Structure 1
Amino acid sequence: MDPSKPLIVQSDLSVLLETNHPEFDKLQGKLARFADLVKSPEHLHTYRITPLSLWNAAAAGMALEEMTSCLQQYAKFGVPSSVLSTIRKYTKRYGLLRMLHVGKELFLVSEDTVVFKEICAYESLQKYLKDARGERAIAISPSYRGILKQELMKLGYPVEDLASYRSGEFLEIPWREEGGMDEPFQLRDYQKQAVDAFQQVGHGGSGVLVLPCGAGKTVVGIAAMADASCATLILTSNVTSVKQWKREILSKTGLTSEQVGEYNGSTKEIRPVTIATYQILTYRGSKEAEFSHLRLFSEREWGLIIYDEVHLLPAPVFRATAEIQATRRLGLTATLIREDGLEGDVFSLVGPKKYDMAWKQLETMGWLAKVTCQEVRVPLSITDRDRYHASEARHQFRIAGENTAKLEVIDHLLKLHPDEPTLIIGQYIDQLEEIAAHTGAPMICGSIPHERREELYERFKKGQLPLLIVSKVANFAVDLPDAAIAIQVSGSYGSRQEEAQRLGRILRPKQHGENKAVFYSLVSADTKEQDFAMKRQLFLVEQGYQYEISSWNKA
């Protein structure tokens, strides 16, 4: 035993990390590469090593020896042999089964004949497997490429897909020379590394790049398009994001507006580069009707499909993606966390994690603002307290979220930051309307026309609006680079992905003053909202942010 070391590694694959250790920041970054943070109380964080966390680490290039040596070097009581053998077992499974083309045929292959024989004996796989070619290869139908990877993933055998991809329709995508300069647009070093990780000569073509909000995921996607030089379908979360992608493509490349189409509820243009929303792809008139817009996947010879905010991918799009495995697929996200637990389907159908850049690392480099995260616990107002205790459990969370006592805290914070561009973000429209009436600031929600939203966003960016109230429609892909203060007044049930997106609204580096921002979360004390806030806090701690908690006392 060495009490000076900060890790306790347990036989159930959980790892405890002491937060007050001098090497906490360094170890936190290492552990996050191959383990998932599950609890983050003040003094001791808990990580869990899972098969998927190990496979994503292996796919991103982390060696088995890096994982085991990290644990062995810092473990207070040593590392149980069962943990080391489990890590070795699952890490070695990545790449044990591979898919590749030989001539025009698609094969599932393995050098381990014992495992291969076991796999081929599974009754659930029989309909996907065709002719055996010796003891190490079996032919499969290209139409089963995706679903077979899903099935093998469920059995605990991730497939390394090295089969080739179709070229798609050729499209030259040159970078635009900006501002009359001789030099074309330049990628930042980490953006180039992300694109290179996706391309991987001989191994590229599918995978997920994890980059913080504000790190330029759109630019990375455009760079992948330019390298592939092919017709591209881009799927994203909402119409605002569609327009943002189009603006970036037209400003950064030589493509014309006639070559870039929008496909959503009001506009359905199918161009060499087409940007669509997940909502339109999953729209149908009734539960029995077909998803008619999914035909967009086959409308052109797409050479690349980009899944923006891949952690939001809806189930029908997963099913369509399983059928187009011969097309290159790029997932972009700030977090691999899915509230529905389908991270394994992202791995098998879109691709494994190929690149992961830590938020704090980009902050240190100056590419993101330095953010302070503060949770303010607000007692329920007298009226809300009586309603809360008289209500059923399912209504208590909303009552706590809409706590009217939060208005006083908002007033205090606005006085504390009088000259800072500020966003107030919330879940409930009634609450946001009350705040808008109280502060006199405009509000953006789903019922506001897109033209009006764009106008308000533009005024905020120009400094003409110091305060903007936004609902969850602003969670995704809204570019508000100068927002320096965010006040979260209510949120979803412990959603870590929502916390990631809301924090992202203030992460972009500031053009004026100090490169700093503050993320406030107002939480009703001693309520269900406080319990769920602890889950959202996990994401912030996972990314290396100091999370301060204070109690609101009316002066």
Structure 2
Amino acid sequence: MTDERSSSDAEAGTEREVGDRTDDRSVSSSDESPDAEAASEDGLTIADFHDASQREGSPVLTAAAVARALEIPHEAASERLEDLASRGELERLSVSADPVVWYPTEFEDLTDRERVVVFPKRREIVVDRPDQFTRAQLSQFAHLADANGEQGYRYVVRPEDVWQTPHESFDDLARTMRQALGQRSEALEDWVESQWDRAHQFRLATHEDGYTVLEAQTAEIMGNVARQKLGEEHVHAPISETEDWVREGAEAAIKRVLYEAGYPVQDHRELESGEDLEIDLEASLRDYQQTWVDQFAEAGEGVFVGPPGSGKTVAAMGAMAHVGGETLILVPSRDLARQWSETILEYTSLEAHQIGQYHGGQKNVRPVTIATYQIAGMDRHRSLFDDREWGLVVFDECQHVPSDVYRRSTHLQSRHRLGLSASPIREDDRQKEIFTLVGPPIGTDWEALFEAGFVAEPELEIRYVPWGDEEQQNAYGSADGRERYRIAARNRGKVDEVRYLLSAHPGAKALVFVDYLEQGRDIAAALDVPFLSGETPHHERRRLLEEFRRDESDLLVVSRVGDEGIDLPTADLAIVASGLGGSRRQGTQRAGRTMRPAGGALVYVLATRGTREEEFARRQLQHLGRKGITVREQTVDAEN
């Protein structure tokens, strides 16, 4: 017990040292309590409390939690907590859930200043009231896992965050870490350095005779990792103790296999850039967009990650201008292909004859070609794309890339790759494949864009709606499984709630989202407005969207085709009548339809009261809560 606690105390001390920061980003040794140092072995030190806090994952603990974490009797824990409180190092608070909770006295001094606390064992960093500099530094080596307004930012340092950092050397990365944390965290830096080394063990290079070679830093790493994981379908034969001759077309598979083994591969192949294509961007990039483009230029590949409305498409055109080569853009639908074409004409120097679309509606390959994933993956069309040397391939909505239908398009070779996604998450947990197939994530945390005013933070409210009639309520009670969710989602009481919300926001441009065609038709008929779905002909879709953009109409009912397949115009008001039982990404896309540089954006999510739909809505919107969006809840009275 004594040995185990002494090693934990060292780590807890590290946490305290990087926790409190003064303006000069240093910590005085006088902050250490002399009473704590003088405590007897039988007593409880503040370091012990920090250790228990780390083990329990909470800064506020009950006596029972301290006893459990430190493996001492409950009565002894209570006595020692009282002793710490008498020395002024702990405060106590009586709450209804437990007789007493305890927390460090220093927590009461957090009102007006930034505080960073590092948990090296969990590789977590908790920041209260972070300034923009700290957040910018943290984003270079850590993942923002939770955000709650100005307080409670929780970052996690994952292996992939270290593997994909933009720094040239570990010393540069360590310098950034110390700037962000205010001081050195030796335990965390040691782990980060080990991951940095992993990320530089393998690389793909082009041999002087033109074929691809997999190179390892040492013979040991080649023999113990690469040659254990890779087979004949990946490599022809060894060239030396540290080099293997790669089979043509197996490069992406090799990168994926070694990535999953914990060894990302540096891609230094000398790929052809294709014909030069002069592209001038005729728009000014915001500072964060220019940072995205600069990071992409440094790495040669990447995924722009940002909320809807943050300008990922325009930033992608900045990347196109940097590459200055022929470009293939892959999109999920022909509607997005058309919109990409129009946007390129608007924001770049390219002319119409230089831009082609390749999908079910038209098939033109030009210096800049916009194709659907489905077409690009078909054998009878692949040769058209394979035979052209692309300087850049852009994967729009790249969260789909790991799927069996879309991943074939990633076999296309190009010197540069760029993905775009508002939310690169997948319910099958295959999101890591996005970054192995396309490139590392590049982006800005959503909260920073909200604060800077580049993107409006929507006000999001879950409204629990009563049943519209007893027939549906009885049917729900006798159903089971997915059928219960379907009945709750189509609750006819939601029609009245949609009417109520629209009347409460007169003059607002509104989008009403549904998951079920019959429900969409019912709501559209009740409101006497159009219903845009997958059954709507393409020319009719285009007309309806243009009318909405030009303010000739102010209300559309939209099926799930609006989540990603088309580029919906932004609105003042979004009402999600059904659909939150789908995916976290769907919630992101729908909430994002109100994100723009103006205020007043509102999102209402309707869930039938007392059903599984309540649980689905809360769970799926937690993802947005972690990105800094405030989520409220409201129970609707029957008379509404």
What is the TM-score normalised by the length of structure 1?
0.83
| 2:456–2:601 Cα contact (<8 Å) kept | yes
State the shift of 1:102 in Å: 4.7
SS of aligned partner of 1:520: strand
Residues 62-141 of structure 1 aligned to structure 2 (within 5 Å): 65=174, 88-103=193-208, 104-122=210-228, 124-125=230-231, 127-130=233-236, 132=238, 135-141=241-247
* Residues 462, 543 of structure 1: alpha-carbon distance in 2 compared, 3 angstrom cutoff: same
* Residues 416, 242 of structure 1: alpha-carbon distance in 2 compared, 3 angstrom cutoff: same
| 1:480–1:506 Cα contact (<8 Å) kept | no
Q: Deviations over 1:361-403 (max 9, x none)?
A: 2222222123211111223343322111101212111111111
1:380 alignment partner in structure 2: 467
Q: Percent identity?
A: 30
2:345 alignment partner in structure 1: 250
1:218 alignment partner in structure 2: 313
Residues 156-195 of structure 1 aligned to structure 2 (within 5 Å): 156-175=262-281, 184-195=282-293
Residues 431-510 of structure 1 aligned to structure 2 (within 5 Å): 431-476=519-564, 478-479=566-567, 481-491=569-579, 493-510=581-598
Q: Deviations over 1:411-448 (max 9, x none)?
A: 22112111111111111111111111111121111111
Alignment equivalent of 1:306, drawn from 394, 404, 410: 394
Q: Deviations over 1:205-227 (max 9, x none)?
A: x2212122112222122222222
| CA distance in structure 1 between the partners assigned to 2:415 and 2:125 by the alignment | 41
SS of aligned partner of 2:556: strand
* Residues 60, 522 of structure 1: alpha-carbon distance in 2 compared, 3 angstrom cutoff: farther
| 2:345–2:351 Cα contact (<8 Å) kept | yes
State the shift of 1:70 in Å: 10
* Residues 299, 105 of structure 1: alpha-carbon distance in 2 compared, 3 angstrom cutoff: closer
1:360 alignment partner in structure 2: 447
| 2:132–2:448 Cα contact (<8 Å) kept | no
| CA distance in structure 2 between the partners assigned to 1:401 and 1:7 by the alignment | 43
State the shift of 1:485 in Å: 0.7
Q: Deviations over 1:44-100 (max 9, x none)?
A: 9987765445534578999764897799889xxxx996x876655445322222222
| 2:547–2:553 Cα contact (<8 Å) kept | yes
Kindly indicate whether residue 365 of structure 2 is the aligned counterpart of residue 270 of structure 1: yes
* Residues 250, 80 of structure 1: alpha-carbon distance in 2 compared, 3 angstrom cutoff: closer
| CA distance in structure 2 between the partners assigned to 1:467 and 1:136 by the alignment | 63
Kindly indicate whether residue 142 of structure 2 is the aligned counterpart of residue 34 of structure 1: yes
2:295 alignment partner in structure 1: 197
| CA distance in structure 2 between the partners assigned to 1:170 and 1:404 by the alignment | 58
* Residues 255, 361 of structure 1: alpha-carbon distance in 2 compared, 3 angstrom cutoff: same
| CA distance in structure 2 between the partners assigned to 1:25 and 1:494 by the alignment | 34
| CA distance in structure 1 between the partners assigned to 2:167 and 2:397 by the alignment | 20
| 1:64–1:88 Cα contact (<8 Å) kept | no
SS of aligned partner of 1:99: strand
* Residues 544, 186 of structure 1: alpha-carbon distance in 2 compared, 3 angstrom cutoff: same
1:334 alignment partner in structure 2: 422
Whichever residue aligns with residue 284 of structure 2, its letter is Q
Q: Which moved more, 1:340-349 or 1:495-504?
A: 340-349
Any stretches of 5+ residues in structure 1 without a counterpart? 176-183, 283-289
State the shift of 1:236 in Å: 0.7
* Residues 6, 487 of structure 1: alpha-carbon distance in 2 compared, 3 angstrom cutoff: farther
Whichever residue aligns with residue 197 of structure 2, its letter is K
| 2:226–2:258 Cα contact (<8 Å) kept | no
State the shift of 1:547 in Å: 1.0
State the shift of 1:292 in Å: 3.0
Kindly indicate whether residue 152 of structure 2 is the aligned counterpart of residue 152 of structure 1: no
Whichever residue aligns with residue 206 of structure 2, its letter is H
Kindly indicate whether residue 468 of structure 2 is the aligned counterpart of residue 403 of structure 1: no
| CA distance in structure 1 between the partners assigned to 2:169 and 2:523 by the alignment | 48
| CA distance in structure 2 between the partners assigned to 1:46 and 1:414 by the alignment | 37
Whichever residue aligns with residue 121 of structure 1, its letter is R
The aligned length equals 522
Alignment equivalent of 1:321, drawn from 392, 398, 410: 410
| 2:233–2:250 Cα contact (<8 Å) kept | no
* Residues 524, 93 of structure 1: alpha-carbon distance in 2 compared, 3 angstrom cutoff: farther
Alignment equivalent of 1:55, drawn from 155, 163, 176: 163
* Residues 10, 33 of structure 1: alpha-carbon distance in 2 compared, 3 angstrom cutoff: closer
Q: Which moved more, 1:95-104 or 1:237-246?
A: 95-104
* Residues 461, 527 of structure 1: alpha-carbon distance in 2 compared, 3 angstrom cutoff: same
| 1:495–1:535 Cα contact (<8 Å) kept | no
1:179 alignment partner in structure 2: none
1:530 alignment partner in structure 2: 614
Whichever residue aligns with residue 543 of structure 1, its letter is K
| CA distance in structure 1 between the partners assigned to 2:610 and 2:140 by the alignment | 31
2:504 alignment partner in structure 1: 416
1:554 alignment partner in structure 2: 638
* Residues 426, 61 of structure 1: alpha-carbon distance in 2 compared, 3 angstrom cutoff: farther
| 1:125–1:148 Cα contact (<8 Å) kept | no
| 1:125–1:151 Cα contact (<8 Å) kept | no
| CA distance in structure 2 between the partners assigned to 1:128 and 1:214 by the alignment | 41
| CA distance in structure 2 between the partners assigned to 1:59 and 1:316 by the alignment | 35
State the shift of 1:356 in Å: 0.9
| CA distance in structure 1 between the partners assigned to 2:129 and 2:304 by the alignment | 30
Q: Which moved more, 1:43-52 or 1:336-345?
A: 43-52
Task: Find the structure with the greater CA-based Rg.
Answer: 2
1:285 alignment partner in structure 2: none
SS of aligned partner of 1:303: strand
SS of aligned partner of 1:187: coil
* Residues 293, 396 of structure 1: alpha-carbon distance in 2 compared, 3 angstrom cutoff: farther
| CA distance in structure 1 between the partners assigned to 2:353 and 2:619 by the alignment | 45
2:34 alignment partner in structure 1: none
